[in-house]
Structure 1
Amino acid sequence: MTTLARHIRHALYRDGLTPTATMASLLLAGAAALPAQAQQDTAQATNTVFEEVVVTARKRAESMYDVPISINVLSETAIDNMGAKDFSDLLGTVPSLTAYQNGPGRTRLSIRGVANGGGNDNDTQNQETVAIYLDEIPISMGAMNPEISLFDLQRVEVLRGPQGTLYGAGSMTGTIRQVTNKPDLAEFGGKFETSLSTIHKGSVGQSYKGLVNVPVIEDTLAVRASAYYVEEGGYIDNILTGEDDLNEATSKGGRVVARWQASDRLIADLSLLHHEYSDGGRPEDLDHTPELTRDYPSFDGYDDEMDIYNLTLDYDLGWAQLVSSTSYFDRTVVNRRSLDLLLISEFPMVTPHELEDTTDSEAYVQEIRLASTYDSPLQWTVGAYADKKDVFYENTFPVPGADAAMGIDSGDFGAPTDNLYYGYDDLTIKTYALFGEAYYNWDKWTLTAGLRYFNWKQEIEYYQSGLLNGGANSDPRPEGKEDGVNPKVNLSYDLGDNSLVYVQAARGFRYGGINGNIPRSVCADELDDVARSGGDTRFFDPDKLWNYEIGTKGATAGGRLQYNLTYFYIDWEDMQTQRSFECGFGFRENVGKATSEGVEVELTARPIDGLTLTVGGTYVDSQLAEDVPNLDADKGDPAPFVADLSLNGSVEYRRPVGNGLDGFIWANAIYTGDRGTEFSKDQPNYRAMDDYTVANLRLGVQSAQWEVSLFADNLFDSRGVTRALRRPPFDPDAEIRVQPRTLGVTGRVYF
């Protein structure tokens, strides 16, 4: 194998790619056959405006323009330009990607308007509609998706539309893949980055990030290690306690990856990741206090600690690539919430204190798959998946001195001393699946078909107690189970010059679950209403949708214009919807149908050397397809937290400024349209969220060894609302807003 061929293979594996016959094998064969001068001439001849973007959306390395699905790819440079710290910072820049946000670490994602409102962040029965992966590791978790630092990422792939064939139930409407840089077996190198910023009407933030890549044994063993420490400024003041910038936060962590090239055929990657996050309070701005302030005394900070271990083995069989991924995931979250409004109105004799929820999760995940690599019009991927998840959720409402002040004994209600409520969920989930996807090429046509069989079981034990529960109960629940198949079919036509058009039908689904007990002592009337209507508060079933789309993607004008256009229509049945009782409890049920129809547009133009223009946007009409009396909603009511129109655009210009330096300027603007918090404006907790625009700017200079840039996030200091709140007597009217204007400087050194 020539030096060039070896480095091509190393580059593919460094980026986490599995070479295929149509890419790696042909590249390697061609490189090996060319003399050195011919190799150099070929490289220069292929250095056109068009930039080949390689993705692994179908769990094999392919050009993005050969994959007939709607994909948005954010490169490491794009992530750096945005100053994105975690995946939630990407919201608004990716058409169709939206979220229901309760603050950092409490984000529930949605794609293509498939959303139906809120619910308890910590609910162990939250079933995600968008899967999140870190390389081969599924890390999504209902409404508390971990926001790991995006440092040392090679790219982020956002796969829109159901991905259930290859990625399972959590990918009902799409999948986000965070692809890390892998150890380089040949080159020593590294990077250090630091940033200093200040928030308008807020405090100062700073960050330190570094990585190093060390070939321990050249071409055989390498280690790549990265670490980060970030202090984020705050901007919410408590005018009651005098505390300023209470939502300041700290995140820190690191990742170590060892790569062993055991032979020309076998590569082993062992990775360890640790992440910690902690903040001083939710960024909630109360309506009855001045802007960016609040006045309740309880502490509602959030703590998150997580460890992820993974071993990936990649073996080249010659005719197929065999991949095994084994993961262990351990996470502890402490999520606090103020209930001061409830205590002040109902129990004025006690000193307010926050609700404290702790969720301990651990999961074992195994996937093994085989992907064809031989030169044939028929290519396929088959595999098996299994996981086991144990989740223990403790829900406590400790109010120091409550027993004495109220003249009660919490023990009489089955709860610890001074706990107005105490409960837990003890949950075990076991899943296995068999999946396959194949595509066949003839002439310019490609037919793709996929199928996944899944089998899911859940066991849960509930305990609930305390004065607010009306006493203790531990109503047993039988095992929940579900199995079935998830199909997909896709037909595409090659238009030539890296362009294609396709049509697709794919089914998305998510698992059902088991609701906790609702105490009759405090909710009898509402429980009787449900029983009279034939409802059941104990269980909820899986919901499912069919996604139909037609799209085109490609590059024209020698690569100076790249495009991705998609029309989609979604038919969603048996929606899992949270129903809230006035007594303070609630349950999840399957009610109603909805449709979502829309268009996604992404354009990238390079009219002259050094200038890149991008435009993206989504128009989506997501609404109920029938009346839903349980939600006081009617056919045609729009989905909550989904803007009908969202737009984004950016401009980047780079040019040499002398002495080996390049100067650059990057600017973008993100528009988010009107939204509401409920399906119907007639619902008592409905709140409108107006449209808003956020602009960002970054400019600087760079060389091959270093970079310095100045940035302004939210340049015009928008107060756009990302989430509005109302649920008396538990939550006062409040908003979570876009972070105020943030100015800063970033420096990077490469070695």
Structure 2
Amino acid sequence: MKINKIAFAVLTALVAARATHAADDNSPTANTPAAASPAASASNASTLGTVTVTAQHTVQDVQDVPITVQAFTGTTLQQLNITSFDDLIKYLPNVTFAANGPGQGNIYMRGLSTGFLGNQSSATIAPFPNVAVYLDDQSMQFPARNLDIYMVDMDRVEVLEGPQGTLFGGGAEAGAVRYITNQPNLNRVSGSAEASTGVTAGGGPNNSANAVLNLPIIPGTFAVRGVIYNDHQGGYIDNVPSTFTRQPTDGGGAMAPYVAAGGTSVANNYSVAQSNWNPVDTQGARLSGLWKINDDWDFLIAESYQNMDANGQSSTYPIGADGQTLGTHQITAFVPAWNNDHFTNTAWTLNGQIGDLSLVYAGGYTNRRISEQQDYTNYARSAGGMYYQCTGTPAGISSAGKPTCYSPAGYWNDHVSSSHQSHELRLSTPEDDRLRFIGGLYYEDFNIDDHMAFDYLTIPSCTPGNLAVALTGGAPCVANAQASPGVNMPAGTAFGENAQRGYKQEAAFGSMSYDILPDVLTATVGTRYYHYSEWQTGTEFYTTSAQVNVPNGTYVGDDTAMDYHKTYHGFKSRANLLWHITPDMMVYYTFSQGFRPGGFNRTSSGVAKLDGEPQYQKPISYAPDTLTNNELGFKGTFLDDRVLFNASLYDMRWDNVQMQFFNPLVLGNTTFAVNGPNYKVQGLELQWQARITDGLSVIGAGSLNHAKQTNSPCLINNIPGSAGYNSCIVETGAIGDVTSFANPFGNVGSTPAFSPRSQYNLRLRYDWTFGANYKAFWQVGANRTGSMYNQPATYPSGAGVTDITTVELRYLQASYTTVDASIGVARDNWDVSLYGTNLNNSHASVFTSSAEFIESQVPIRPRVLGVKVGYKF
């Protein structure tokens, strides 16, 4: 798609439309369900104004919604230069983001997390997220890869905290993020164009452009709206030249004989080393059409397209591949790396009236394709890496010659495609009735197809020539792995899966509100019945000793078939009581429940061996976990709508929590998930705004969060007939080498992952006018995020560890503060501004891990300075 040519065509249409159409109808966007009032977005407003949302599937002032909601209008998003979730999260206390790069992260709310493992095999093994992501009414959730929607031409973004299981279902256990796009205006020709350019400290240049055009084709009856965008973010991470030299300590000391015999090779990354090797390009477009059928009915359809290309890796290494100390934004990677993430989405909405009843039917279909490759060379230092790269008795593949280790360079490659279809039908009674109902039916079909390969097998493949040498006593070879009979994997593929997973969901929900005292006291109750049919099929393939010295294409049963199915159903409910103390102040109590779907493990095998006998059979499946929230809140405006103050206190109980384990030395060489402990989360969240003068505003928010584990289950011996059956596993080890086994579920009082104790942000904005119709502004803001861990307290500490044998080391991610600012001027249809993000050039990691068998850190973007020019009519 030649998006630059399309952008030029749209810009041309903007100018033509401006020249040939009169835009004298200033009515708001037709049928837009929620938007900022003019007072909320005008730069010279003397009050805070009103922001309306649809968090409860009905149009409400955000100050009347009895849950914690953070809403950002399209105007606010523009003013804050927000285009991605990385930009937005700075203004979201109580929300954290484990980001492994663009489109590769998990969103967490109120500390409800059990850690993040990175992205290799995530489409197959990662649990479904507990925070839902919506584009309008279409769910965009994905295991460990929340879709990063580019925010341009947005009506607003709503962030709903706490379980939303009644209205939004299983993906919204901890909350939901809703991206609401602008709809076509039936009566007004309008449009805008914006371009920016900037520099990144120590990195490459940035630039972006977008254009919007709204055209009433049949004024008052049919209109279309189009938006197109192109964004380039320069890289700032340097892949520095390095070698990889095997050490005697590799593999727990098993590498020593190879080094002594001179049977190791040294690799280098000179062919891929480069500066600023992590640029990101995002291109997209959206076209929507609105048809007003008559006074009671209208139909909206929208088509969205987005393609994101991220080159290189978004992580840095404090210590390089050969033990060298690296700089702040440096890495030593040995293979080409990329992440391409493409999605299309078609969505449609029918709104209408049947007598006094309002009907909404919303449907959507999303297709997403991902192609990613990342370096995995550091796996060569583990015992597993030796098994796939070395021949000779210590590694398990005997050889007549001297012990030999081949190239350590390796990578993983993942190709994912998914489809997500949903249909929802809602009926509601008039919003001004004293007794009000809303109810609906929901259907969802979610499918994922994952082709994952770990390519670090460097022992020569059994080509005819290599096999002939091996069979005459020469160097051994290893036949290519097979995913199933007849599906031969490429040479170098040691392990992986061709897996399909997904679910179908049917649900029915209903909610009833009654004004006990009109305009003063309102009670609401609601519930949702859900039924999930979940499945996982395919094959996990791997290389075994049976593939040594046999022809490529020989099937030796080196895979495990998956054919797993499970159904479950239940109810999740909510209730709240809302009391308007005055028209401008209210208190509320809300009880709400949420859940997230369960899932499957790839294989079931006996692990945790004691004297050679397994004590634990890994389960095929794990169940949903659940969340119960009790929340007390206050929302109020004061001094004639010049001051706003909101506060919420909550107590949340997270039960039967899904946890993942990867401990090759004890629990097997593949990740698996189980249901584990319970957590209690208690906290306080505040939001405040004030219009100090007609031009000066202050806005802020903060949270204090205390999360801890409340029980201490253990891993129970579940193999009948074994010693210690049905009791806690406390010892593991080989005969004569028994060691104690630490409970992987941890102790009461342990702190969960990605749960900082405090977060807060504060910003000031001043608007004024001067000269002949010039408008100017300046704004400055700061964000503070407290320290947090990347994994639960049960996982081993990564501090000072250099011999890494697991992807689950626990690291402390330090607290950090960032400062942003901008200044600008506008006249008539034009505006220009200068902006800066992370002006203090803070360096911090948003995701520290051992996912690539080396300590890696995903840093926040360094200082960016830029200029932005816009035109609108």
Q: TM-score normalised to the size of structure 2? A: 0.79
Cα drift, residue 510 of structure 1: 0.9
Instruction: Map 1:369-448; keep pairs closer than 5 Å.
Output: 369-373=426-430, 375-398=432-455, 402-404=459-461, 407-411=477-481, 415-418=488-491, 419-443=493-517, 444-448=520-524
Aligned CA distance change for structure 1 residues 527 and 660 (closer, same or farther; 3 Å): farther
CA contact (8 A) 2:189 2:214 kept: yes
Cα drift, residue 677 of structure 1: 2.0
> What CA deviation, in whole Å up to 9, does each residue of 1:572-626 have, x standing for no partner?
1100001112143121100111111100000001011011101211100111112
Q: How far apart are the structure 1 equivalents of 2:611 and 2:181? A: 49
Aligned counterpart for 2:597 among listed residues 511, 520, 538? 511
Q: Which has the higher strand share?
A: 1
User: Which residue does 1:26 correspond to in 2?
Assistant: none
Q: How far apart are the structure 1 equivalents of 2:284 and 2:407? A: 39
Cα drift, residue 141 of structure 1: 1.2
User: Which residue does 1:15 correspond to in 2?
Assistant: 32
- Indicate the RMSD between aligned Cα atoms, in angstroms: 2.5
Cα drift, residue 655 of structure 1: 0.4
Identify which range, 448-457 or 701-710, moves more after superposition.
701-710
CA contact (8 A) 1:14 1:181 kept: no
Answering whether residue 532 of structure 2 is matched by residue 532 of structure 1, we say: no
Cα drift, residue 49 of structure 1: 1.3
Q: How far apart are the structure 1 equivalents of 2:275 and 2:115? A: 31
Cα drift, residue 318 of structure 1: 4.3
Answering whether residue 748 of structure 2 is matched by residue 662 of structure 1, we say: no
User: Which residue does 1:723 correspond to in 2?
Assistant: 847
Instruction: Map 1:130-169; keep pairs closer than 5 Å.
Output: 130-169=131-170
Q: How far apart are the structure 2 equivalents of 1:151 and 1:194? A: 12
Instruction: Map 1:119-268; keep pairs closer than 5 Å.
Output: 119-121=117-119, 122-124=122-124, 125-240=126-241, 241=270, 242-268=273-299
Aligned counterpart for 2:673 among listed residues 577, 588, 605? 588
> What CA deviation, in whole Å up to 9, does each residue of 1:158-179 have, x standing for no partner?
1111111110010001111111
Cα drift, residue 199 of structure 1: 0.6
Aligned CA distance change for structure 1 residues 720 and 428 (closer, same or farther; 3 Å): closer
Aligned CA distance change for structure 1 residues 194 and 454 (closer, same or farther; 3 Å): same
Amino acid of the structure 2 residue aligned with 1:155: R
Aligned counterpart for 2:638 among listed residues 556, 570, 575? 556
* SS of residue paired to 2:602: coil
Q: How far apart are the structure 1 equivalents of 2:412 and 2:844? A: 28
Aligned CA distance change for structure 1 residues 406 and 451 (closer, same or farther; 3 Å): farther
Aligned counterpart for 1:611 among listed residues 696, 699, 705? 696
Aligned CA distance change for structure 1 residues 527 and 13 (closer, same or farther; 3 Å): farther
Identify which range, 648-657 or 67-76, moves more after superposition.
67-76
Aligned CA distance change for structure 1 residues 394 and 412 (closer, same or farther; 3 Å): closer
Aligned CA distance change for structure 1 residues 412 and 499 (closer, same or farther; 3 Å): closer
Instruction: Map 1:260-339; keep pairs closer than 5 Å.
Output: 260-288=291-319, 289-339=326-376
Q: How far apart are the structure 1 equivalents of 2:589 and 2:481? A: 62
Cα drift, residue 681 of structure 1: 7.5
User: Which residue does 1:489 correspond to in 2?
Assistant: 575
Amino acid of the structure 2 residue aligned with 1:296: A
Amino acid of the structure 2 residue aligned with 1:532: Q
Aligned CA distance change for structure 1 residues 191 and 214 (closer, same or farther; 3 Å): same
* SS of residue paired to 2:700: strand
User: Which residue does 1:341 correspond to in 2?
Assistant: 378
Q: How far apart are the structure 2 equivalents of 1:15 and 1:635? A: 49
Aligned CA distance change for structure 1 residues 681 and 537 (closer, same or farther; 3 Å): closer
CA contact (8 A) 1:318 1:374 kept: no
> What CA deviation, in whole Å up to 9, does each residue of 1:181-210 have, x standing for no partner?
110001001010111011101000111101
User: Which residue does 2:425 correspond to in 1?
Assistant: 368
CA contact (8 A) 1:212 1:225 kept: yes
Cα drift, residue 364 of structure 1: 1.6
Aligned CA distance change for structure 1 residues 438 and 205 (closer, same or farther; 3 Å): same
CA contact (8 A) 1:69 1:160 kept: yes
Aligned CA distance change for structure 1 residues 198 and 439 (closer, same or farther; 3 Å): same
User: Which residue does 1:641 correspond to in 2?
Assistant: 754
State which structure, 1 or 2, has the greater radius of gyration over its C-alpha atoms: 2
Cα drift, residue 473 of structure 1: 2.5
CA contact (8 A) 1:498 1:555 kept: yes
User: Which residue does 1:453 correspond to in 2?
Assistant: 529
* SS of residue paired to 1:616: strand
User: Which residue does 1:734 correspond to in 2?
Assistant: 856
Unaligned runs of 5+ in 2: 1-23, 242-269, 320-325, 390-404, 462-474, 547-556, 715-742, 798-808
> What CA deviation, in whole Å up to 9, does each residue of 1:300-348 have, x standing for no partner?
3111010000111101234121011121110001232321101355235
* SS of residue paired to 2:769: strand
Aligned CA distance change for structure 1 residues 7 and 312 (closer, same or farther; 3 Å): farther
Identify which range, 141-150 or 646-655, moves more after superposition.
141-150
Aligned counterpart for 1:358 among listed residues 404, 409, 415? 415
Aligned counterpart for 1:66 among listed residues 44, 57, 64? 64
Identify which range, 149-158 or 475-484, moves more after superposition.
475-484
CA contact (8 A) 2:304 2:346 kept: yes
* SS of residue paired to 1:123: helix
User: Which residue does 1:33 correspond to in 2?
Assistant: none
> What CA deviation, in whole Å up to 9, does each residue of 1:355-414 have, x standing for no partner?
011111012211110121264211121000001122111111235865349721124786
Aligned counterpart for 1:679 among listed residues 777, 783, 792? 792
CA contact (8 A) 2:100 2:118 kept: no
CA contact (8 A) 1:318 1:373 kept: no
Q: Count residues in correspondence.
A: 716
CA contact (8 A) 2:481 2:494 kept: no
Cα drift, residue 492 of structure 1: 0.9
CA contact (8 A) 2:377 2:456 kept: no
Cα drift, residue 497 of structure 1: 3.0
CA contact (8 A) 1:620 1:645 kept: yes
Answering whether residue 833 of structure 2 is matched by residue 709 of structure 1, we say: yes
Aligned-residue sequence identity (percent) comes to: 24
Aligned counterpart for 2:868 among listed residues 720, 741, 746? 746
CA contact (8 A) 1:601 1:618 kept: yes
> What CA deviation, in whole Å up to 9, does each residue of 1:10-50 have, x standing for no partner?
636442349xxxx9xxxxxxxxxxxxxxxx9xxx9xx8614
Q: How far apart are the structure 2 equivalents of 1:643 and 1:195? A: 34
Aligned CA distance change for structure 1 residues 460 and 412 (closer, same or farther; 3 Å): closer
Q: How far apart are the structure 2 equivalents of 1:580 and 1:104? A: 25
Q: How far apart are the structure 1 equivalents of 2:204 and 2:638? A: 47
Aligned counterpart for 2:657 among listed residues 569, 575, 584? 575
CA contact (8 A) 1:486 1:507 kept: yes
User: Which residue does 2:682 correspond to in 1?
Assistant: 597
* SS of residue paired to 1:69: coil
Answering whether residue 813 of structure 2 is matched by residue 689 of structure 1, we say: yes
Cα drift, residue 658 of structure 1: 1.9
Q: How far apart are the structure 2 equivalents of 1:438 and 1:514? A: 36
* SS of residue paired to 1:92: helix
CA contact (8 A) 1:673 1:690 kept: yes
* SS of residue paired to 1:91: helix
User: Which residue does 2:108 correspond to in 1?
Assistant: 110
User: Which residue does 1:88 correspond to in 2?
Assistant: 86
CA contact (8 A) 2:204 2:235 kept: yes
Aligned CA distance change for structure 1 residues 374 and 546 (closer, same or farther; 3 Å): closer
CA contact (8 A) 1:165 1:488 kept: yes
Q: How far apart are the structure 2 equivalents of 1:300 and 1:318? A: 58
CA contact (8 A) 1:16 1:179 kept: no
CA contact (8 A) 1:518 1:585 kept: no
